[in-house]
Amino acid sequence: MTEIVLSDVSKRFRLPDREVTALDGITETFRSGSFTALIGPSGCGKSTLLRLIADVLPPSTGEIRIGNHDPAIARRSHEIGFVFQDASLLPWRTVLDNVSLPIEVAGKAPARDPRALITMVGLAGFEQARPSQLSGGMQQRVAIARALALEPKVLLMDEPFGALDEITRQRMNLELLDIWKASGTTAVLVTHSISEAVFMADTVLVLSANPGRIAHRIHIDLPRPRRLEMMRLPAFNAVENDVRAALFDDGTRVPA
């Protein structure tokens, strides 16, 4: 069971002249094996929230538990996979060596065969390619394979497909859902795209800015496995509209 539980978490940053509250009073439970999307205006602290869970930043107040442990313990026992906004591949390593990096660092027998992971993200045959020889979408797939190398219990993704074109993005979304389903990890996805959030997630958390708070929780009741055709269904559009309303309204109208 790898639930992520946040209790009254806040994060303040000290700037030279003032203090900024990036996140305030975040209380949320991410169920084990669930898929949650975080969406909100820029500067609402989505990425910060992800970094708090990953133990990259410490919370100012409140408590975070990952599977009943401190995030630092989860991180050190390699339970966290993180996908960055840009792929952040090491340019001097081949695709295979990039995917193998976490295994190398952890020093344990590969939880997953890196070659099988590369095949899973559809890059078979590119094992020896360098990142600079790959397109943006391919690089991001390598980054996802790398994040999965140690079978993380928690998969955190910071706008992983933000730089991709719509077609590649939808294809990657589908692939990611397959990967998530097969791995059973608890996934948290930060995104700017309403349709991506609705398409992927069980729950969409809409954050408001200044300070960052969870303004709305929207449960997506669309059946799984999700298929691209669903995006044309009235039910899908209705949920999209709910999220849109939550994003742009002043919060007076609470969607169903």
Partner 1 sequence: MTGRLLDGALLPPALVLLAVAVGAELAKAAGLLPVTVPAPSQVLAILPDALDDLLHHAGRTVRSAVTGYAIAAGLALVMAAVALALRMLERPIVSLAVLVDCIPLIAIAPIFVIFIGQGPRLHVTVAAISAFFPLLIGCVQGFRSTDRNMDELFHVIAASRWQRLCKLALPSALPYLFAALKIAAPLALLGTLIAEWMGTDRGLGAMIVYALFSFNVPLAWLAIVTVCALSALAYGLIALAEQRVVGWSRPPDTLAGGR
Catalog residues that contact partner 1 under the rule CB under 8 A. Answer: 51, 54-56, 75-76, 78, 80, 82, 84-86, 88, 90-92, 101-102, 104-106, 130, 132-133, 150
Smaller CB separation from partner 1, 129 or 231:
129
**Smallest gap from residue 169 Cβ to partner 1 (A):** 20
Name which of 20, 18, 38 is nearest 28 in CA terms. 38
**Smallest gap from residue 65 Cβ to partner 1 (A):** 18
**Smallest gap from residue 140 Cβ to partner 1 (A):** 13
Smaller CB separation from partner 1, 16 or 107:
107
**Cβ(209)–Cβ(44) under 8 Å?**
yes
**Smallest gap from residue 130 Cβ to partner 1 (A):** 6
Question: How far apart are alpha carbons 144 and 157 in whole angstroms?
Answer: 9
Diameter of the chain measured on Cα atoms: 54
**Smallest gap from residue 86 Cβ to partner 1 (A):** 6
Q: CA-CA distances (angstroms) from residue 8 to 26, 36, 59?
A: 5, 18, 10
Smaller CB separation from partner 1, 105 or 182:
105
Smaller CB separation from partner 1, 23 or 156:
156
Smaller CB separation from partner 1, 78 or 226:
78
What is the length of the chain? Answer: 256
Cα of 210 vs its chain's centroid, Å = 22
Smaller CB separation from partner 1, 56 or 231:
56
- DSSP string spanning 73-117? HHHHTT-EEEE-SS----TTS-HHHHHHHHHHHHTS--SS-HHHH
At CA 105, angle to CA 104 and CA 108, rounded to 5?
A: 65
Query: Nearest 10 degrees: CA dihedral of 49, 88, 200, 102?
Result: -90
Q: Which residues pair with 207 in a beta bridge?
A: 214
Smaller CB separation from partner 1, 130 or 244:
130
- Cis check for the bond before 225: say yes or no (omega within 30 of 0): yes
**Smallest gap from residue 82 Cβ to partner 1 (A):** 5
**Smallest gap from residue 152 Cβ to partner 1 (A):** 10
Written as one letter, the residue type at 113 is D
